[in-house]
Structure 1
Amino acid sequence: MDPYPMKHLREFVHYEIRPIDVGLDNEAQIARNWNNSTRQPNGRRGRNGANQFTSPIKYLHIHESESFSMGIFCMPPSSVIPLHNHPGMTVLSKLLYGTLHAESYDWIDVTDPTDQLQELSVRPARLVRDREMSAPETTILYPNRGGNIHTFRAITPCALFDVLSPPYSAEKGRDCSYFRKSSVRETPPEVIWLEELEDHQPPEGFVVARERLVMLY
């Protein structure tokens, strides 16, 4: 997607899309009242807090066409969306409610990779973002910049509204790949080597419950 229309879409999403517009007003209120002081180090509530969160991440599917897809990730506290990419895709994301920690990277081009690196499926990447984000922050990432490879960890209950253009498509070479950090060699602090997991499979324990969000107007 061209940067110019994406900029206008970003402004619309940032100012016009609210939790109440997608039926998540109650969840947003819970996030606003979330008290971090009652959380234990493992991210679960103390004995005087609410029940411990054991539910998986929920994905609310809104729409998909050949040109874009749209949906919402609802994340319980301490849940993690593992490190993954968006090949050839532009992604607009808005945090509808809550706070999360975002860590994102862009690939560094290697003109002549060694046979060892090719065999290990590792590539160098540059750190783009490593910080907390709170609603209603809105970001855009592009195929080659902006943090195309990223991971999220929920600090409070939170919901991430995503628009992907074009959407994932294994047939068209846009399959989602997952990565882990590799210690293949020493690098400067701003550079990290990422190793692709086999067969486009996410790490064990990553569970997403998928539902369709029906919009009522």
Structure 2
Amino acid sequence: MRFEGEVAAEKGRAPSKKSKRRQKKSMAAATASASAVQKLFDLCKEAFADCAPGFVPKQDDVGRLSSFLDNMKPEDVELHPNLPYFRHENSEGTPPVTYLHLYGCPKSKFSIGIFCLPQSSVIPLHNHPGMTVFSKILFGSMHVKSYDWVDTPHSSSNAAAPTDGDRLAKVKTDAVFNAPCETLILYPETGGNMHCFTGVTSCAVLDVLGPPYSAPQGRDCTYYDESPCLDLPDGMIMPGEDGRYAWLKAMNGLPDNLNLVVADYEGPKIVEK
């Protein structure tokens, strides 16, 4: 315990050179972190300036944004594996995934957020209607399984739907990604538009979505049940295509293994200019 006199005397003393150096280093680190988050916002603002459902940024903008995200680190958003978000002390049930919101609303042209996954936590299989999405794993190991819809040779709008609302999809990605790794990018129709994340270790993924989810504008998040496709129906696959397939069925409600909580983002703030 410290007494009032000691605190008053300490306040009255001029800071030492060592203390000043520490303060300068701390301020420099904070400025660097803030500039990284601000720069990300500025790049997104440029890339998604004309964003609308189905919009895909220009190739140069995709390159600049993905390259910048490739080099982002957990320190840029003041995250580290020892934070409570990444611990699951209750052995029962699915570990909660914590979402930290950096920027955006349904009326914005893009949104930025971070998902914090303890080991074995899951973000169930879901879609990204009309969106371009950049996902950067900041640290840890994460399993990603993703699908794209399969269309019949006759029409891209006539996707296979044999019974009970099932629709044929092709596996795009089924692998474990270890940070540091390249940013994952998906597009409105390709690149793994439906995906599922599982924490192999505790991990964090920074997501940029353009445009954001918006139920009133027809961009609500849909979750899916998946079942293996053992026999492909005749005529469903374009000649020369191969790979793994599954039947996906949209769920009416939320998945049982969805355990998502929202917390305040406490890292460097974004300033809209």
Q: TM-score, normalised by structure 2?
A: 0.64
Amino acid at match of 2:221: C
- Please report the TM-score for the alignment, with normalisation by the length of structure 1: 0.80
Partner of 1:125: 169
**Superposed displacement of residue 202, structure 1:** 2.2
Answer 1 or 2: which has greater strand percent.
1
Q: Among 76, 98, 102, which residue is 1:21 paired with?
A: 76
Are the structure 2 counterparts of residues 78 and 96 from structure 1 closer, same or farther at C-alpha, using a change threshold of 3 Å?
same
With over 3 angstroms needed to count, the CA separation of the structure-2 counterparts of 1:115 and 1:164, relative to structure 1, is closer
Which residue matches 2:126? 84
Deviation of the 1:100 alpha carbon: 1.1
Give the total of aligned pairs.
194
Closer, same or farther in 2 for the Cα pair 1:190/1:183, shift >3 Å?
closer
Q: Which residue of 2 aligns with 1:105?
A: 147
Preserved contact between residue 122 and residue 257 of structure 2 (Cα < 8 Å): no
Q: Is the 8 A contact 1:80 1:151 kept in 2?
A: yes
CA distance in structure 1 between the partners assigned to 2:174 and 2:247 by the alignment: 16
Do the aligned partners of 1:85 and 1:149 also contact (CA within 8 Å) in 2?
yes
Cα 1:103–1:212, aligned 2, differ >3 Å: closer, same or farther? Answer: same
> 2:249 aligned to 168, 186, 195, which one?
195
CA shift digits 1:129-172 (9 cap, x unpaired): 11100112211100111101011111100001000000001111
1:53 deviation in Å? Answer: 5.8
Q: CA deviation at 1:25?
A: 3.0
Out of 210, 217, 232, the position equivalent to 1:165 is 210
Give the aligned CA root-mean-square deviation in angstroms: 2.6
| Whole-angstrom CA distance in 2 between matches of 1:202 and 1:171 | 18
1:70-117, Cα deviation, whole Å (9 max, x unpaired): 111100111111110001000000000000111101011134568853
Q: Distance in 2 between matches of 1:192 and 1:115?
A: 12
Corresponding residue for residue 151 of structure 1: 196
Kindly provide the amino acid, as one letter, of the partner of residue 136 in structure 1.
P
Instruction: Answer whether contact 2:78 2:266 (CA < 8 A) is retained.
Output: no
Could you say which residue in structure 2 is the equivalent of 1:47? Answer: none
Spell out the pairing of 1:45-84 with structure 2 (5 A cutoff). 55-65=95-105, 66-84=108-126
Checking the alignment, whether the CA contact within 8 Å between 1:60 and 1:71 is kept in structure 2 is yes
Write the distance in 1 (CA, Å) between the matches of 2:184 and 2:150. 21
- The answer to whether the 8 Å contact 2:125/2:194 transfers is yes
Query: For the residues of structure 2 that align with 1:167 and 1:114, how far apart are their CA atoms?
Result: 27
| SS of match in other structure, 2:76 | helix
Q: Which residue of 1 aligns with 2:23?
A: none
- Structure 1 stretches lacking a partner, 5+ long: 32-43, 45-50
8 Å CA contact 2:228, 2:245 repeated in 1? no
Check whether the contact 1:89–1:165 (CA below 8 A) recurs between aligned residues.
Answer: yes
Percent identity over paired residues: 40
Which residue number in structure 2 is paired with residue 215 of structure 1? Answer: 267
Within 2, Cα distance between the matches of 1:145 and 1:171?
A: 24
- The residue identity in structure 2 corresponding to 1:145 is T
* 2:27 paired residue number: none
What's the CA shift for 1:182?
A: 3.1
Give the Cα–Cα distance (whole angstroms) in 2 for the partners of residues 24 and 154 of structure 1: 16
